[in-house]
Every structure is written in C-alpha cells, then in structure tokens.
Amino acid sequence: MAAPVPNLLRQEIERLAADDKRIDGRGRWERRAVDLEVGLLYNAEGSAKVTWGGTVVYAGVKFELRTPWPDRPTQGSLMCGAELRPVAHVKYEPGPPSPESIELGRVVDRGIRESGCIDMESLCIVPGEKVWGVMIDIHVMSDGGNIFDACGLAAIAALRTAIVPAERFDVGEDHVLGVSSTPIMASFTRAGGRFVYDPCEEEELGGDERIHITLGDTEHLHSLQKGLKGAFTPAEFAEILDVARKHCAELRDLVASKEGN
Amino acid sequence: MSQGQDGAEQRLVTPGAAIGPATGRRVGTGALIQGDQIIATRVGLVRERHGTVSVDPVASTYMPRSGDLVIGTVVEARSNLWFLDINGPFQALLPMSLAPWKVEFGGTRDHADINDSLLMRVQEVDEVQNVVATMRGIGLRRLAEGAVLLVDVQHNDTLRAEGAALLKRLRDLSDCRIVLADNGRMWVDGEDAGIDWLRSLFRDVAAAGRTDTLNSIVEHHAANAPNRGEA
Amino acid sequence: MMGGYGDVQLLRDDGKRLDGRAIDEMRPVEIKVGVLPAAQGSAWVKQGLNVAVCAVYGPMEAHPRKIQRQDRAVLDVRYNMAPFSTGDRIRPGFNRRAREISKVTAEALESVVLLERFPRSKIRVEIEILAAEAGTRCAGITAASMALADAGIPMRDLVVGIASGKIQDTVVLDLDKAEDNYGQADLPAGICPNTGELVFLQMDGDLSIDEYNLAMEYNYKAAAEIHEIMVAALAARYDGGEA
C-alpha cells in the first residue's frame, strides 16, 4: 500500500522550494552525510556498508568458477542484483522481486559494467574451460530516500576491495580483483517543482520524476535512467549534470580513502 | 524533568526487569505484576506516583483511545463516510453524520478530499480496535494551511506538563500556532521561519528518543528561534 | 550436519579449542539498537563473526483478513540469509530452512510479546543474516527481541538465543563454524533472562542426559552474560551509556 501524501506536505515542499529551501534543511544541491565502511562481513570476498542519511545498504561480492560462454571463451562474467526486502521499509512487501528492485539492480549493474572498470578477460583462468563469475548482491536495510546512490556506492566499494579467493578454489593464489576505475551514481528528484540532489524520504513521496546518472573517472557518462512519471528539459539536465560531476568526484575520493587498509 | 514522581532520578529499565515488590502498589502502563514482583514491559524510565508504578517508554506507537485529539489524513472517501490514517494500527472511520458540514450522500469529497488533513476527536474504539472519529466539537476542522510535524507520543506528557509550559514556550519562540494532537502529530502554522525552526527542533527530538531531554533540546534551539524576545 | 565426527581434531592438547577459547567460553558479542532509521525498532547483533540485523514494524492491521486474530496480534517473522552471508552464494528466494527458522523464532517471541494488547494486528519482524559463522538462528532471536524492545512493543521479558554442543565427546559453549560442521551435537536455546523460561529449543546430534544438562548449564551462564550486553546496548541508546 502506497503511503498517503498529505496535501499539507506537498504544499510545504512547494513553499520551501519557492524559498530555495528543503524540508530537511539542506540546500538544493547539498548531500546528506555519507559514511562508508568496507571489509566488514566474514564470508563475503568484498563487502561494504553505506550509511547515507537515513538510508543503510550493504553490498557483498562472491565469486564462482564457471564455464565461459562459447562465443566468449576468454571472458568471465559480472552479475549485480539488488533486493528490496521488507526489512528496509514498512512499504516493502515480502514476495518475488518487485519491478523496483529489478530496476535498481539493473541501473547499478549498467553503471559498473559499461564503465569497463572490470576487464572481463582478466577473469579468465583457462580459456574455454574456466572463468570467474563475479556476483555483487546489494541488500537494502533501511530506505530513508535515495537508495540508488547508496547502492551504487556500496557496490563499487565492495568490488574495489574484493579479494579473489583463488586458493579456496585451488586455482592459484588469492589476489585483489582488478578494478580500474570508480563509477559513481548521482540521483535527482523533482520536488516542489524543481530538481534536488539526493532526495530524502519526504521528497520522494511526491512520486515525481527522478534521474540517475553514473559518471566514470574521466567524467564520461556510463548509465542514465529516468524513472517515474514526468518530463524534464535539456536545460534542467545540463544543470543537474554539472552538480553530478562535483558530487561524483567527492564520493570517488571517499571510496579511494577506504582502499588498501 | 519534574512530573511529581517521588524519586529525583529516574531509572532506565528493560523488558522483564524487576522494578520492586508488588505489595501495596498498583501498576500503570509499561509494567505488570508477575508473582510478587512488578516487572517492566517496555524500555523506559520508572515512575512512581500515588502508589502507582509505571514505565515512561522511550519508544512508543500510537494506540487510539476514546476522547483523543487526532490529526488524520484522508485515504478513502465513500458516499457517506471517510477513512483516515491516524498513525495507529487501524484507520479511523468518520461517518457523514459526525462531520461538521452539511454533506450530500455521494458528496463527501467536496468537503474533505483524499490526502486532506483533518483535526478530529476519537469518538469510540471498540474491543477489536475499530475506530470511529468525530468532527463535532470546538476547533475540529479541516487543516488547509500550515504543516504537520511528527512528534513521538511519549513526549506528549512532557510537552503538556505544568499547564503545558513547554508548549507555551514553543509558541512564544516560534510565533506559531501549535496544536499538539495525541497521535504523534503536531499541527503548526505561522511564518515560514517559525515552522522551519520547529521542524528542525523536532528532528533532534526524534533522534534523541528520551523525553527528559526535550527541555534541553528546546533550550539548545532557543538561540536561533525567530522570536528571541522575553518569552 | 554431523559429518565425519571423530576424525577432525577440534580440541588442542592444552584442552582449549582451535580458536583458543575455553570449553565454556562464548564468542565475543556486540549489540547495538536503533541502527536502521526507517524501522520502528531495530537491532544489530554480532556474535563471533555472525552478523544479524533485525527491523520491527507495527503493530499494523493484519492483511489478508484471514490471518487476523480477533483477540491478539500475530507476529510475522522472516529470517533471511543475505546472498553473500555464506561460503557459497545463496540464491535469493524461498527455502525450507529459512521457513522453519522463521516459524520457530515467531513462536519463541510469541511467548514473551503481550500480543493480547493488539487485536487483529500484526507485528512484522524482519531478521537479516549478513554474515554466517554457525549460530545465526540464535543471533537472530537475540536481535529480534532487542528490535522489539527498541520499537516499544510490550514484552514480559527479552529473549537470548544461545547454543552449546558437543565436539570430540566434550560439551562446549557456542559452536563456531568448524565445530558445527564436524561436531557431534548442537543445542540452540532461547532463554528468557529474567524468568529463566525456555521459549525456543532445538537439538540435533547425540547427547547423553548428563551432557544435555551440562550444555544447558552453559547456555544459561552465557544467557546471563549476553543479557548484560543487551541491557547495556539499550542504555547506550537511551541513557547515555549507563544502565
């Protein structure tokens, strides 16, 4: 059941927007505090926890040995999935994966895959016979708004700190997974008629359109996704993209600061 | 905090913890008698007053009682009644006959539409938690302006203590009209600066949880209040 | 579970266990409450390398109507292991083990929650295992009772989940992964720390009556220790660190 959005809340968000303010006191392009921890889960070969305002997500990396696809005998594979289980919010119901959780997983997956940060050839052990399958699972524990950015950050941080468990599979020595760049997502939602960065829960309640942008190290675009009803102009997008560049760079530094510990 | 409890310092207890012997004492909320002991059923602060031992919980959900003042959000309008979310386990039903307006059958949405906020009283709660609300009464109305803030119900007693001293102080400092409902919601209306100040204050209150920190949070925010004149 | 016991060395010559613990010593336990802002109540329990996190929502109207009880609330408990919580990745979705653990956990908690206060309601208890190193059901029960307390749901007592077992014909407290895999018995229990009542009990393997009694004695000893950690965790959240 969708939560009711009181008209008073809608009016309030519009009133604040007219004043260039937000319901949680932030500026329009301001981010909430983000905390990143890595390597905290036994059994995951790479793991990360992101606390982003009231949002909490975990990501874990697992490896498996598999036979490569016949048309790509020297390439391993990457799979990224997200689960929006009922633990994360009263609004999520138990049951098979919802369209929302599938979209979430696929948007994060595309940002990482298309950035080319993982060289699929490097996952090959014996051409045509044995390659690594890398699986990232994202577990949303608390949805306090903007789970997309939190999931994207957790996934790339878990990957960049992952150790390939070669010894356990008897195929050589354990080694770090080579991840050559750090794609980062930045999300925007229309609230009170204008776009804001990093929407909080109340700002998402309105159900107006959102835009997710994944930028790589060289500020190339790697994934875009427009979600929910609504439309936007090229000028609005240009403005958003500029904001995204700044925040993606900051968060990339945050990931880098957790590596090699 | 000063609500007339006998002891000066309040003790934090957890579910199952023995509070003391049951002989000669009654139990209030958040406690029960097991054998010859009073035990806590909630995490909270022990309070003893006129021979009744209770636990003021640090976290609480709203359970409606007859006579409560509540702010509801319309979630469904039928031909002759409304259903409202009142922040409790069950929706409240507001029949056409208890509305303050002259409503034609089928015309409920002309008076209160989906997502409108209404200030109501709980008329009746039956033994299986069906809730009937009324808008017949002084001050009960549709709330067309202002903002609704979330204020966990365990803070209500503190806000209303000593002739609602703290609420009065908040009204003075914010220059806002404030209606504290019983269901974890507070309606505020006034200048933008006052509303924004109250919202930021109650965000800190929600993060703290405990109700005996309320006064100090208010004092902490007082320096930035819209109306710092002698309150 | 009891594969090939007897042939794996689990006790050292000095009588200690492989990880250096004494036979009646539990793994370190850490607990926090209020860890998930979106939930009404939440708790995080780390026991050894296990990590269990629980969120509580409700009471809310029970849906569908046929699950409603006219005289009390129902507890809707889900125990779930994250895909990355185990050695080999677990595929998300239904599994029989999780379903059974959810059921017995619900029944354990039903014994302490004052359900009669909330007719026709349900209370959702969502347990997520993020890292598994033997003993996750016990960590899950501890986390669930803490999250219920944090949510302000009235209860007669908390519940501590703890297990003892048998390795190399020796009764030991709180089996780790290797001990669970190669041991001879596992006895997980849910203990009410104040009343001493048992609200959850399972066992598999082979124990004499005397061994059972000793294992249970260890469980009670550990439950008292874990209870102190639980109370301290609630105090840290609500009382500035002092109980």
**Structural domains in chain B plus CATH codes:** 12-57 (2.40.50.100), 69-143 (2.40.50.140), 147-222 (3.30.1370.10)
Q: Could you give the 3-state DSSP secondary structure of residue B137?
A: coil
- R_g of chain B, CA atoms, integer Å: 20
Q: Which residues contact C162 (CB under 8 A, 6 or more apart)?
A: C26, C138, C142, C173, C174, C188, C189, C191, C219, C222, C223, C226
Q: Does some domain include residue A1?
A: no
Q: Which among C220, C191, C241, C158 has a CA at the least distance from the CA of B39?
A: C158
- Give the pLDDT band of residue A3 (cuts 50, 70, 90): low
Q: What tens digit of pLDDT does each residue of B154-180 get?
A: 899 899 999 999 999 999 999 999 999
For chain A, how many structural domains are there in total?
Answer: 1
Whether residue A43 has pLDDT greater than 80: yes
C36: tokens are: 């998930």
User: CB distance A60–C85 less than 8 Å?
Assistant: yes
The pLDDT of C174-183, averaged and rounded, is 95
Which ranges constitute the DSSP H helices of C65-116?
96-110
In a domain, A47, yes or no: yes
Question: Looking at residues A245-259, what average pLDDT do you find?
Answer: 96
pLDDT band at C19 (very low <50, low <70, confident <90, very high): very high
Average pLDDT rounded to a whole number, residues A247-257:
97
- How far is Cα C227 from Cα C229, in angstroms, rounded to an integer? 5
Q: Domain C29-238 is classified in which CATH homologous superfamily? A: GHMP Kinase, N-terminal domain (3.30.230.70)
Predicted local distance difference test score (pLDDT) of residue C1: 44
Residues 6+ apart with CB under 8 A from A230: A190, A208, A209
Following CA atoms B12, B16, B20, B23 in sequence, which dihedral angle do they give, to the nearest 10 degrees? 140
The predicted-structure confidence for B62-110, as pLDDT tens digits, reads as follows 999 999 999 999 999 999 999 999 999 999 999 999 999 999 999 999 9
Helix locations, chain A, DSSP H:
7-18, 99-115, 147-160, 201-205, 234-258
**CA distance linking residue B107 with residue B125, whole number of Å:** 26
Q: How many contacts does B have with C, using Cβ atoms within 8 A?
A: 91
B148–A6 C-beta distance less than 8 A: yes
Domain range list for chain C: 29-238
Q: Burial code of B60-70, b = ≥16 C-beta within 10 A, e = fewer?
A: bbbbbeeebbb
Residue of chain C whose Cα is closest to the Cα of B32:
C156
CATH number, residue A65: 3.30.230.70
Query: Which long-range contacts link C33-37 to residues 24+ away (Cβ below 8 Å)?
Result: C33/C146, C33/C147, C33/C149, C33/C150, C33/C233, C33/C234, C33/C237, C34/B209, C34/C150, C34/C237, C35/A56, C36/A56, C36/A87, C36/A141, C36/A142, C37/A53, C37/A54, C37/A55, C37/A56, C37/A142, C37/A144
Give the pLDDT of residue A30.
98
Tell me the residue range of the domain where A36 lies: 7-258
* Touching partners of A (3+ C-beta pairs < 8 Å): B, C
Quick check: B231 pLDDT over 90? no
Give residue-wise pLDDT tens across range B32-60: 999 999 999 999 999 998 999 999 998 88
Residue C30, pLDDT score = 98
Q: Taking a C-beta distance cutoff of 8 angstroms, is the pair C53, C139 a contact?
A: no
Q: pLDDT above 70 covers what percent of chain A? A: 98
Q: Tokens 């930028």 — which residue?
A: A215
Alpha-carbon distances, residue B71 vs B120, B122, B156, B158 (angstroms) = 6, 10, 14, 19
Question: Does C7 score more than 70 pLDDT?
Answer: no
Per-residue pLDDT, averaged over A148-160, amounts to: 98
Q: What are the chain C neighbours of B57 within 8 Å (beta carbons)? A: 152
* The pLDDT value given to residue B88: 94
Q: What's the pLDDT score for residue A2?
A: 54
- Write out the two tokens for B18: 């023995």
% pLDDT > 90, chain C: 91
**pLDDT value, residue A229:** 84
**How many Cα atoms sit within 13 Å of A194 on the Cβ side?**
17
| CB spacing of C84 vs A94 below 8 angstroms | no
Q: How far apart are CA A86 and CA A13, in angstroms?
A: 28
Residues C226 and C50 sit within 8 Å (Cβ to Cβ): no
Q: Could you tell me which chain C residue has the CA closest to the CA of B30?
A: C154
The answer to whether residue A136 sits within a structural domain is: yes
Confidence of residue B195 (pLDDT cuts 50, 70, 90): very high
pLDDT band at C2 (very low <50, low <70, confident <90, very high): very low
